[in-house]
Structure 1
Amino acid sequence: MDTTRNTVLEAWMAEHGYSSNSLADAVNRALERLTGRSGGLDGSSIRDWKAGRVQWPKSASRKALEDVTGLPAVALGFVPRGRSSSAPASPQQEDPDMKRRTLVGGIAAAAAAAAAAPGTASPRRIGMSDVDRLQKRFAEIIASDHRHGGQLGIEQRAAALADEALNLQNVGGATQRVRSSLYASAAAFRSSAMWAAIDGRRYDDAKAHMREAQSLAEMSGDQAIKFRIWSHAGTMYRHMGRPVDALAANDVARNLHLTRRDPLFACLGHARQAATLGLTGDATGVQHALGHAKDALERADPGLTRPVWMTGVRDGSELETLALAAHLRLRNFAQAEAHAHRSLTLLRPQMRRDHAINTARLAAAQLGQGDVELAVTTMMKVPADIAAQHARVTRMLREFGTALHATASDSAAVRTWTEHAATWTFTA
């Protein structure tokens, strides 16, 4: 048996600071998320991979490793059975996302090479053009979130890009403005990793990303990214059923002076506070917060340049979405339905995740009013791929099924829904 060492895997582990034992632990955790059972890998298993004694791990272990690294197995030096280790990967096996990650990784690598090149008169200067390249990658992360949301691959890609932004700090000279922008970029990527983990209900991972993002944001001095991180923290605690912590985190975001300078940030802060107050049953508080949010939206200057993640706030869809969530919690089903229809009208077509979530909420509001057949028809509009793969949507579908059986257990609508839901394979 050919036991050529897997130097590609070794290099990846060295670059990302993994020992054999720590990588085994990470893959075992990914296996548990995939299969519901803890993996049985240990340091010797990883050493077998590195030594080439195992050239193509078992399918479950391979998928878990791909989830941890964000790369396909062939890009980590593994060789499918029946193919020589010297044979190149076929075009069909090349992952477009991997190509993008490789390109992004090249930013820091190219900078380091330039800084260390012999004969170079002075270290490479890091400038705003490097920051601009990172910002383009950040826009790609936001676009992926709008389409898919909550996916482990988005979380891992965002975290890797945060590391890339930090690596640029060490490979050349830069002005203070550039260094602050790099810290802001790293914080932005880490906050997207945090959001993907929240959206996927991986709360322990989300809290780890949050702590890193908060430190980076402080070093950047960027008020907008500070607002995003604390606002995400409020959402995380709301989803975890911890309204007191959610309200406190929202207050940190709402008290940043940015919200006084730009009412659009105040709008988002008030709207998220309303969603949390809905969780506490405070109907008066919800009405006041939504009123403040609407006033702030009307006062906001539409011509100001804002971060790409504020798009949904600018067009009003985020306010309608959070009002929907608040009224649904309060069991104000008629008002919730009205906000659901408005949100679905305002949401942009590429925001598939939000369309799915608000369609599910609309169905819940209709069911709450006793419109069983209409609610089932609405819920069946949730796309099957999102229904099966997005943790929040999956939970909403299951809760809907439970409520539907409790409301009309013997109806034809229940049978229709049961047959429809049986066609999905839930993986979230």
Structure 2
Amino acid sequence: MTHVELAERMNDAIHTLTGSRGKVSARTVHNLVCGQTGWPHTKQRIALEIVFGCPATELGFTPRTSAPVTEPQENDVLRRTFAAGATSLVLGAATRPAATDTRHRIGASDIQRLHGKFAQIITHDHRQGGRLTIETQALAMAGEALGLLTHGSASQRIQNAVYATAASFTSSAMWAAIDGRRFQAAQRHFDRAASLAVMSGDLTIQFRIWSHAGSLYRHLGRCTDALAANDAARRLPITRRDPLFAALGHARHAAIHGIQGDIGAIHRTLGLAQDAYERAPADEPRPVWMTAFFDRAELHSLATAAHLAARDYATAEAHAHRSIAALRPELTRTRAITSARLAAAQLGQGDLGPAVRTAMGIPETTLGHPRVAGMLAGFGQTLAQRAATSSPARLWDAYAQAHHLRRIP
């Protein structure tokens, strides 16, 4: 990471902790790395521990009220390690045992504890989405899970559960990177998550990872790869055992067909998705990542994306309205994305006023999300191309400038 990137991650962590964005600058990070700051302020220290997944003392910092915890030479080495990079420190520190640790038998309570942390990651993702903090926290939790196997013993069933949990955390890091438009990082996380998922034998997490891969390649415009990855998810036995997984796989396939402009394929796969959704039993036990977001509203949201990409604007608008009406209130990121799609669908039909009102109605707290910001930038560009001198276009320009929205996606 550069100094600026680390400052950004620390500010994200402070926002998660306090609700207010931090004020860490590149200069602050320079002082931390060079040793000018011996013991960071509380917020900065906790943010560092979140980003790197280990105590501040392991990064080489020394509490003011206590004796140095390391010899000076070792302290310098730790500071150089701190400056060198994040990923190895996150995973390495998370799996390193404390001095008082003893080898123990890993049990169901350990898995349950990790599941609780995973549920928190899912909640943060649906509220904020795409943040570097979420990506980093998820990777740290994956390292913590794998650390159990390094320093403990387990039955085959528990070992598989640990791998599944580590794969789940890594897949959340992958999704946060996709959502934040950090596609190279997402590809790295995919490779690792897929390996862990295979070792776990858990079909549900394998489905999630391959389905995410389909979304990654769709966002990159690699339709052939996207269809192949999503087909890998749709062919898993879990889609035959539980129609809800089949419904999600078909709906995401429709979104990929939308990029290709294949209206017939969109209707066909959305029909399959709707049929599978209606057949899915409501009381079937499912992983938290599935129950947290996939419902009828998400089905309509994916249909909106498919028809919008295919320039079938009227149908896209109809699905967007249905999605927003059924959307759970806590899914703020999804609401903003669907509203941006609705605005684009209205603009595509020439309804300039309603389109601008819809775009301006997106909550300001979500305007900084990379996907939302990119979609609104594209909205502004299209509006300027179609009617640059119109009253709605002038209104949008003033709004975009006031909220520092980019003109080019």
TM interval, short-chain normalised: 0.7 to 0.9
Match of 1:176 among 145, 156, 160: 156
Query: Percent of pairs identical after alignment?
Result: 51
3-state DSSP of counterpart to 1:422: helix
2:53–2:94 CA contact under 8 A, matched in 1: no
303-312 vs 218-227, greater mean Cα deviation: 303-312
Q: 1:348 to 1:371 in 2, by over 3 A?
A: same
The total of aligned residue pairs comes to 363
Q: CA deviation at 1:72?
A: 11
2:178–2:216 CA contact under 8 A, matched in 1: yes
1:417 matched to 2:400? The reply is no
- 1:242-253 → structure 2 map (5 Å cutoff): 242-253=222-233
Partner of 2:313: 333
Amino acid at match of 1:140: Q
The separation in 1 between residues aligned to 2:50 and 2:186, in whole angstroms, is 16
3-state DSSP of counterpart to 1:169: helix
Amino acid at match of 1:409: A
The separation in 2 between residues aligned to 1:360 and 1:56, in whole angstroms, is 44
Q: CA deviation at 1:176?
A: 0.9
Partner of 1:282: 262
The separation in 2 between residues aligned to 1:239 and 1:302, in whole angstroms, is 31
The separation in 1 between residues aligned to 2:238 and 2:118, in whole angstroms, is 21
Partner of 2:215: 235
The separation in 2 between residues aligned to 1:419 and 1:292, in whole angstroms, is 44
1:274–1:285 CA contact under 8 A, matched in 2: yes
194-203 vs 379-388, greater mean Cα deviation: 379-388
3-state DSSP of counterpart to 2:151: coil
The separation in 1 between residues aligned to 2:122 and 2:101, in whole angstroms, is 30
- 1:55-70 → structure 2 map (5 Å cutoff): 55=38, 69=52
1:207 matched to 2:187? The reply is yes
The separation in 2 between residues aligned to 1:191 and 1:205, in whole angstroms, is 12
- 1:42-53 → structure 2 map (5 Å cutoff): 52-53=35-36
TM-score, reference length from structure 1: 0.77
1:234–1:247 CA contact under 8 A, matched in 2: yes
306-315 vs 194-203, greater mean Cα deviation: 306-315
Q: CA deviation at 1:291?
A: 0.4
Partner of 2:2: 27
Partner of 1:17: none
Amino acid at match of 2:345: A
Amino acid at match of 1:400: F
Partner of 2:23: none
The separation in 1 between residues aligned to 2:249 and 2:105, in whole angstroms, is 38
1:313–1:319 CA contact under 8 A, matched in 2: no
Q: CA deviation at 1:186?
A: 0.1
CA RMSD of aligned residues (A): 3.4
Amino acid at match of 2:207: F
Gaps of 5+ in 1: 1-25, 35-39, 88-101, 116-122
- 1:60-139 → structure 2 map (5 Å cutoff): 69=52, 85-86=64-65, 113-115=100-102, 123-139=103-119
1:196 matched to 2:179? The reply is no
Q: CA deviation at 1:143?
A: 0.3
Match of 2:284 among 289, 298, 304: 304
1:405 matched to 2:388? The reply is no
Amino acid at match of 1:52: G
The separation in 1 between residues aligned to 2:292 and 2:145, in whole angstroms, is 26
Which structure 1 residue ranges, 4+ long, deviate > 6 Å from structure 2? 31-34, 64-67, 70-75, 105-108
Partner of 2:359: 379
The separation in 1 between residues aligned to 2:154 and 2:187, in whole angstroms, is 31
Gaps of 5+ in 2: 10-25, 67-89
Q: 1:223 to 1:402 in 2, by over 3 A?
A: same
Q: CA deviation at 1:385?
A: 2.2
Partner of 1:91: none
Amino acid at match of 1:30: E
The separation in 1 between residues aligned to 2:34 and 2:163, in whole angstroms, is 38
